[in-house]
Amino acid sequence: MRSAAIFAAVLGLPTALASSCPVEDSTIVAHAGTPVGKEEVHNNVTMYISQPDEERRRAKPDTAVLYLTDVFGLPLLENRLLADSFARAGYLTVAPDLFSGDPALGDINVPGFNTSAFLANHGPEVTDPIIASTISYLRDDLGIKKIATTGYCYGGRYAFRFIADGKGADVAYAAHPSLLGNDEILAIEGPAAIGAAENDGMMPPARRAEIESLLGQAKQPFQVSLYSGTNHGFGVRANISDPVQRFGKEGAFYQAVRWFDYFL
C-alpha cells in the first residue's frame, strides 16, 4: 500500500483526495518542503493562513483550525508545515502571530535569551486579545461557525483557555502544553485532548496525572495520549530521522485530526 493510501485510510479520506495534495509530498503530514500557506494581516494581527483544496473545503465549509504556536512562532518552518498539514486534512487553518513579530530565537538556549522576560512580556493580557481578534476574523469576516484550537507548548495553554465559556472556540487539542493552570482546565466547556511527551520537564508524570484528574472533574470528553521516546516539543520539533519520534509527531497530529473530525 502506498503511504498516501495508508494516511488516507487513517483519516477516512478517499485515496484520490490524498494523492492530489497540493504539495510535493503527497502524504497528509509534511515534515519538509515549502509551506503552501500565506501571511495576511487581519484585525491588526499577522496570520499564517493555509487553505484546504476546494473539494475538502466543501466537506467542512464552516469549520476552521486555530493553530496556536510554540514560542518560536510563525518563523519556524515546522509550524507552517504543520498548519499546512491540518489544511490537507480538510480544515481552513489560521495561525496568528502570537508574539507581534517578536518570537523567541530559534534556539531558546542561545546565550542572552531571557526566557522569563519573554514569558513575562507575553502573558494572557497580551496574548488573549490577539487570539480573540483572530477568532473574530474567523467568525465575523469568514463566517466560520465551529473552531478547533490546536496548541503546542506555549500555545497549548491557550488552546484550553479558548474553549472556556464565551471565549469562542469549541474543541481543543494541546501537545505538551506548558504553564497550563488548574483553573484553566476546570473552566473548559468543550472536548479537550492532550498529546504528552515521555520526557517533559514541564509536564512530568505526576503533573500529567493531576491534569488527567482535573480533566475528569471538568466533565467534558477528554483524551490524554502519551508518546514514548519523545521530548517536550515533539508535536512540532521531533527528530523525524528517529522512527519512534516520527511516530510520536505523526501520532499527535492524527490524534488532533481525529479529535476534531469527531467532536467539532
Ligand X SMILES: *[C@@H]1O[C@H](CO)[C@@H](O)[C@H](O)[C@H]1NC(C)=O
Binding site for ligand X (CB under 6 A): 44, 100, 114, 116-117, 120, 239, 241-242
**Residue 98 or 257 with smaller CB distance to ligand X:** 98
Least spacing, CB of residue 96 vs ligand X, in Å: 11
Q: Does the CA dihedral 7-177-40-263 come out positive or negative?
A: positive
Considering the candidates 70, 84, 170, 200, report the single residue annotated as catalytic: 200
Which residues fall within 8 angstroms of residue 239, CB to CB, at 6 or more apart?
245, 246
* Residue with smaller CB distance to ligand X, 118 or 189: 118
CA torsion, ordered 198, 171, 124, 175, to nearest 10 deg: 10
All 3 cell numbers of residue 183? 483553573
Q: Give least dist CB 34 to ligand X, A.
A: 22
Question: In angstroms, what is the minimal distance from the CB of 127 to ligand X?
Answer: 12
Nearest residue to ligand X, using CB? 117
- Cβ of residue 3: shortest distance to ligand X, in angstroms? 19
* Cβ closest to ligand X, residue 176 vs residue 237: 237
Q: Would you call 200 a catalytic residue per the annotation?
A: yes
For residue 117 the three cell numbers come to 522576560
- Determine the straight-line distance between the first and last CA of the chain, rounded to whole angstroms: 30
Q: Nearest approach, Cβ of 39 to ligand X (angstroms)?
A: 14
- Please give, one letter per residue, the 3-state secondary structure of 184-214: HHHCECCCEEEEEEEECCCCCHHHHHHHHHH
Query: Is 176 among the residues known to form the active site?
Result: no
Q: How many whole angstroms separate alpha carbon 43 and alpha carbon 114?
A: 29
CB closer to ligand X, 223 vs 239: 239
Q: Which helix (H) or strand (E) holds 147?
A: strand 146-152
Nearer to ligand X, 39 or 242 (CB): 242
Taking residue 41's Cβ as centre, other Cβ atoms within 10 Å add up to: 9
Catalytic residue among 84, 153, 170, 176: 153
Would you call 242 a catalytic residue per the annotation? no
How many CB atoms are located within 10 Å of the residue 21 CB?
23
CB 45 within 8 A of CB 131: no
Active site residues: 153, 200, 232
